[in-house]
Structure 1
């Protein structure tokens, strides 16, 4: 069985555009990038995703996965 993850409501930085939409990850690889938001998946609240870029340090993602009480990252 394959593992799927959806990142929705993101600004996806592509080679020639910035797309507001969703990314489907299947078995650790990008399977689809689509305009518009998916009801399912992790809501990125308009944050940027740059496919292929590996950032080794980001505090901002903590706000999505393990938020600290009282911390507001994007306000």
Structure 2
């Protein structure tokens, strides 16, 4: 058996993860990430929010690119 196992039932997925494969802190972060993804999915943003996010990232990258890439 692998360290991560996914089982599909009629109305749910069950994920089993071997305790020897990950530590508790990693597992808590994974659960928090899954919960955030679930909440974000429920918000149902329209395309304008995604466009705004892309513009913010582009502006940030233009201002900070030199910190990461020497041209």
Q: TM-score, normalised by structure 1?
A: 0.25
Q: Between Structure 1 and Structure 2, which shows a larger proportion of helix residues? A: 2
TM-score by length of structure 2 reads 0.25
Higher strand share: 1
